[in-house]
Amino acid sequence: MKRREFLVKGSVASASLVALSACNGAGSNEPGLTKPDDATAAENRSGAKNTIEAVQDKMPPWAGASPFRHGVASGDPWPRQIILWTRITAEGLDEIPVIVRVARDPMLRTIVHEGVGYARSDADFTVKIDAMLPDADTTYFYQFECLGHISAIGRTRTTAHAHQDVDHARLAVLSCANYPYGYFNAYRKVAFRRDLDAVIFLGDYIYEYGPGEYGDPQVEKDRPLDPPHETVTLDDYRRRYALYRTDGDLQECHRQHPFICVWDDHEIADDTWSGGALNHNEGEGDFADRKRSAIKAYYEWLPIRPVLPDRQIRIYRSFEFGQLASLMMLDTRLIGRDQQTSSPVEARDRNRSLLGADQQQWLFDSLQQSQSRGAQWHLLGQQVMLAPLTLGALPDTPNLDLGGGAQVNYDQWDGYETSRRALLGRIEAMGLDNTVVLTGDIHSSWAMDVSIDPGNIFAYNRFTGEGSLAVEFVAPAITSPAAPTKGISDLAKSFLIPANPHLKWLDFYNRGYMVLDVRPEHCQADWFHLETVSMPSNQEHFAMAWYTASGENHIQARYTPSEPKRNAPPLAPATEEAEEALA
Amino acid sequence: MSTDRRTFLRQLVIGGASVSALTACGGEGSSNESSQPPSGPDLPEVPNPETPDTGTSEPENATESLSFIVIGDMGTGNIGQYHVAEAMRKIAQDQGCDFVLGAGDNIYEDGATSVDDNGFLESFEYPYQNLDMPFYMCLGNHDCASTIFGGGSDNKRGDYQVDYHYSRQRYSTKWHMPERYYQQSFGRLEEGRPFLDLFVVDSNPLTSFYQDYNSDFSWENYGYPQQLWMKDRVAQSKAHWKIAMSHVPYRSNGKHGNAGNLDEGMRVLFTNPDADGLRYKLFLEEAFADEIDMLVTGHDHLLQWIKPVESMGAAQIIVSGAAGKTDKFQDKKRNPTHFQAENELGFVWVNLTSERMQVEFYLVDEDTGDFRLAYSQDETKSVGINEAMPA
């Protein structure tokens, strides 16, 4: 194989892979400079067969079909490091070596990294390799090899260095993909957008429900759930992820773009908080066990890099897109959330927390760091709506614990008034401009100003946006429904917009996704809505765009989508040819 | 108290009120109107040639002990304040006292309105005339108030108390308030590290009952810059002991209560949305948690030693707000305490040695001036010493 000419010192032990990668990264990008006999030399020196070739030789015999049944994925991009993911399906085998190669071109001619991982039963045969790559802000292509088969070719992209000038970044923002509620047409549409830097996934990647509990019966007939009951155990969650990952649209989206993911409630159970969930009862066992299982399966199946090796529950973390933007991903669900309340009095309890003290402190420090380093935009990727959703807003009086509006959804920040005041109070105190909040969870499209007191005409002017501290864009669901008809959606809209002065636009009906266009002068969200999710469809339309100009901190409408990047790198080639066996 | 210790302590007593500390690093200059950013490296620590910090025979020796008294809410000018001052004098004489910390409300009821305001004499100089030691002062809400209710809506007024520090016409040199918020070092150890660093917070603009519409004191222009400055200074401090002083309590069992939920019940009368101290609480935690050994505040007219709480690390929490006025508890059990006393005047005496702090609470009879030791306890130092920054 020609590929073998590019072999560098490989390592059988995954622990030394970093060294291998670092060597690759720091060394030449010219694969030709690494002579094939280097590998032999290494072999002789160590006495062990520390080469990719040796790994290939040690591949167990396998006569079955391609083990790459769940596709490939990448995620958590850093300037020179990225998580590469696949899963091996090969019954009867364990500890299966998997080789990955990363190249600059879609035909994998210029290899810049090779690494080895192992598919093990204790991680559900998922494989994650944290590849070190030579260049920041660069698109790469990768492919796995295992058991004599090669995977589809994946495509990914590193972020720019923090100090680098970046004049344009584009991010797709997605959430809420319920398998039996529809076809993942949105994933397919996003996969085709070749100018994206990354896909931000804001949670509800899977749903825990059993058959018939939360789905469109017509769709569910053709998309039956596995396991055929609510997910509770580790095996349940693994099977549910495996089911989702057999979906071709989702596989294609992962194959083309790096994902930056956080969970919401349905990765565990509906309306999860740190100590329980609405959709959890005693018959389902200890919630702590369920949480642990859900988290373990999440880490196995999503291309996420653990922030702390021994504390997987911590997924709040940040990314940098050069000087243009910092992205802080939050966990408003599991790590610090106090139990939901339905009482507006309790919602203002000063001891309640949505983020928990540690995460809140981390967020405030991260905002300060982002401001200090001169990042133009401060993006917060998180689950539940920050701006209030009320049936009528009044001036807020914290000292009386009154006003602020008749709130309707206490699962959102509305149920954690102290946490919201702390965050908005900090943004105000810092004089921080250009905070953009990205939200999922609610299966609908919203564009809002974020004011500390939107119902107070002295604090916030609904006509000019003056007094707004930040803006919030809410991404629609991929398949999960909100209003059953367009008419109901319009009715709700006609009531809610007057009742919520900070709310500028909403759509309760359509499924789809958001593209966030980030430039020094603006941050714009384009909503793309799908024709249908009841059947596979390639049809989408541009619904609306809202943007905030730099320094303005409030949104304005725009009736055209943002311009794509010119000369975007090619997509990874289609899978058919690539999946052939190595024979 | 043993004679041995008294002798030992006397050797360490600082000679006079003119002793100034080694470094006096002020906060953002509100007295001189400069708006330069308050951050920056520590000034080099230059020993004051006139008054060596260890006082007596062996000035080159490292500091082994410091004693100080904490008073708060004292500036009434009433006989009670004089009685407390006399008790302080006796304790200082018997047990040693290098300086006094004044935790705010220095001049009732509405502060000073000029640098030669009578309040400086009536509420400070005359009552403490016989105490010959420096007083490190902190601004309270009454020092920044335009009415007798102490609403704290006139922060600018606090500048006169800074000006008094620099005044040449002042009655004595005891009054120390180089800036509205500042850092002060005491004593020194080998490698030139201070024995103690004191961090003084200006809490009124962060928590006042009534809103100050002077934008110079907004969170954006004053509160947050102060927070960043304080956090930076505390983190850089290499002092063996670190103590923070502020007027408004972090925790208290009195009517003002805990930061984050200050003045519950009374708050309905207030106009400042920050009156519950939500942002103030985070300020204190971000700047001081796991860094300081002791947090002293006033505001509630009580004496309390609140046990350390997780969110502030191992810091001992002292409320000393009964040096001029008294009040009763609102909820005795709100925070667990080592000691607490209501409806009596008093003060706190603290002695620090390298490994331990001794804290004593003295109660003073308002009418007779009789005083007694109400509580005394030793604590071993539990907050780690900052390592020197690696090169």
Model pLDDT, residue B294: 98
Q: How many whole angstroms separate alpha carbon A207 and alpha carbon A170?
A: 28
Give the percent of chain B with pLDDT over 90. 80
Q: In this complex, is the C-beta atom of A350 within 8 Å of any C-beta atom belonging to chain B?
A: yes
The number of distinct structural domains making up chain B is 1
Find, in chain A, the residue whose alpha carbon is nearest to that of B267: A399
B223/A429 Cβ within 8 A = yes
Is position B248 within any domain? yes
B/e letters for B145-154, b = 16+ CB within 10 Å, e = fewer, are bbeeebbbbb
The structure tokens listed for B167 are 């005044």
Residue A487 host element (H or E): helix A486-499
Three-state SS across A270-338?
A: CCEECCEECCCCHHHCCHHHHHHHHHHHHHHHCCCCCCCCCCCCCCCEEEEECCCEEEEECCCCCCCCC
pLDDT of residue A50: 66
What is the tens place of the pLDDT at every residue in B14-29?
A: 333 333 444 444 444 3
Separation in Å, CA of B272 to nearest CA in chain A: 8
The answer to whether residues A55 and A96 touch, using CB atoms and an 8 Å cutoff, is no
How confident is the model at residue B378, as a pLDDT? 96
Which chain A residues are within 8 Å of B215, Cβ to Cβ? none
Q: Compare CB distances from B276 to A398, A426, A428 and report the shortest one's residue.
A: A398
Residue B118 within a domain: yes
Q: Is residue B363 part of a domain?
A: yes
Written in H, E and C, the secondary structure of chain B is CCHHHHHHHHHHCCCCCCCCCCCEEECCCCCCCCCCCCCCCCCCCCCCCCCCCCCCCCCCCCCCEEEEEEECCCCCCCHHHHHHHHHHHHHHHHHCCCEEEECCCCCCCCCCCCCCCHHHHHHHHCCCCCCCCCEEECCCCHHHCCCCCCCCCCHHHHHHHHHHHHCCCCCCCCEECCCCCEEEEEEECHHHCEEEEEEECCCHHHHCCCCCCCHHHCHHHHHHHHHHHHHHHHHHCCCCEEEEECCCCCCCCCCCCCCCCCCCCCHHHCCCCCCCCHHHHHHHHHHHCCCCCEEEECCCCCEEEECCCHHHCCCEEEEECCCCCCCCCCCCCCCCEEEEECCCEEEEEEEEECCEEEEEEEEECCCCCCEEEEEEEEEECCCCCCCCCCC
Residue B189 belongs to domain spanning? 3-380
ipTM for the whole complex: 0.87
Instruction: Find the closest chain A residue to B287 by CA distance.
Output: A361
> Which residue of B282, B286, B291, B312 is the best one to mutate when testing the A interface, meaning the one whose CB has the most A CBs within 10 A?
B282
Which residues contact residue A239 at a Cβ distance below 8 angstroms, ignoring those fewer than 6 apart? A226, A227, A231
Compute the nearest-CA separation of B267 from chain A (Å).
Answer: 5
- Residue B332: CB atoms within 10 A of its CB come to 13
Question: Nearest residue of A to residue B272 by CA position?
Answer: A399
Residue B385 lies in a domain: no
Restricting to A residues 402-441, those with a Cβ less than 8 Å away from any Cβ of B are 418, 421-422, 425-426, 428-431
**A431 to B268: CB separation less than 8 angstroms, yes or no:** no
CA A423 – CA A402 distance, rounded (Å): 19
DSSP reduced 3-state for A98 = strand
* Cβ distance of B275 and A399 shorter than 8 Å: yes
B252: closest CA among B161, B330, B357, B152? B330
Per-residue pLDDT, B65: 96
**CB nearest A399 (choices: B268, B282, B286):** B268
Is B10 a residue whose pLDDT tops 70? no
| The predicted structure's pLDDT at residue A575 | 67
* Architecture label for domain A169-204+313-558: 4-Layer Sandwich (3.60)
Is A564 exposed, middle or buried, given 0-12, 13-18 or 19+ CB atoms closer than 10 A? middle
**Distance between start and end Cα atoms, chain B:** 46
Measured CA to CA, the distance from residue A252 to residue A193 in angstroms comes to 11
Q: Which of B224, B275, B285 sits opposite A429 (nearest CB)?
A: B224
Q: Is A3 helix (H, G, I), strand (E, B) or coil?
A: helix
CB within 8 Å: B267 and A429:
no
Distance (Å) from the alpha carbon of A240 to chain B's nearest alpha carbon? 40
Domain ranges in chain A? 2-158, 169-204+313-558
Tens-digit pLDDT profile for residues B54-95:
444 444 689 999 999 999 999 999 999 999 999 999 999 999
Residue B7 scores a pLDDT above 60: no
What tokens were used for B191?
A: 């490698």
The answer to whether A357 contacts chain B (CB < 8 Å) is yes
- Best mutation target among B209, B278, B283, B290 (most A Cβ atoms within 10 Å) is B278
Q: Give the pLDDT band (50/70/90) at residue B380.
A: very high
The residue of A345, A348, A349, A350 whose CB has the most chain B CBs within 10 angstroms, and thus the best one to mutate to test that interface, is A350
More confident position, B28 or B281: B281
A148: contact with B, CB 8 A cutoff = no
**Does residue B386 belong to any structural domain of this protein?**
no
Residue A459 Cα, gap to closest chain B Cα (Å): 12
Write the pLDDT tens digit of every residue in A341-389: 998 889 999 999 999 999 999 999 999 999 999 999 999 999 999 999 9
Contacts of A422 in chain B (CB under 8 A): 278-279, 282
Asked if A357 and B311 come within 8 Å (Cβ–Cβ), the reply is yes
Spell out a b/e string for B349-376, using b for 16 or more CB atoms within 10 Å of the CB, else e.
bbbbbeeebbbbbbbbebeebebeebbe
Nearest to B260 among A350, A364, A426 (CB): A350
CATH H-level superfamily of A2-158:
Purple acid phosphatase-like, N-terminal (2.60.40.380)
CB contact under 8 A, A418 and B267: no
Say what the pLDDT of residue A506 is. Answer: 96
Q: Which tokens is A504 given?
A: 């500028």
pLDDT value for B41: 42
| CA B245 – CA B139 distance, rounded (Å) | 10
CB distance B149 to B136 below 8 Å: no
Question: Strands A512-518 and B65-71: what pairing?
Answer: unpaired
Among chain B residues, the shortest Cα distance to A452 is held by B273
Residues sharing a CB contact under 8 Å with residue B117, sequence separation 6 or more, in sequence order:
B107, B160
CB contact under 8 A, A425 and B270: no
The C-alpha of A189 sits at a distance from chain B's nearest C-alpha, in angstroms, of 44
Chain B: give the shortest CA distance to residue A350, in Å. Answer: 7
Distance of alpha carbon B367 from its chain centroid, rounded?
A: 26
Q: Supply the pLDDT for residue A582.
A: 52
B7 domain-assigned: yes
Residue B9 has pLDDT above 70, yes or no: no
Of B56, B156, B57, B66, give the one whose Cα is nearest residue B112.
Answer: B156
Residues of chain A with pLDDT under 50: 1-47, 577-579, 583
Q: Which of A421, A445, A432 is nearest to A514 (CA)?
A: A445
Q: Which pLDDT value is given to residue A48?
A: 52
Q: What is the pLDDT of residues A271-317, one digit of tens each?
A: 999 999 999 999 999 999 999 999 999 999 999 999 998 899 999 99
CATH number for position B198: 3.60.21.10
Per CB-CB distance under 8 Å, the chain A contacts of B282 are 364, 422, 426
Give residue A576's pLDDT: 59
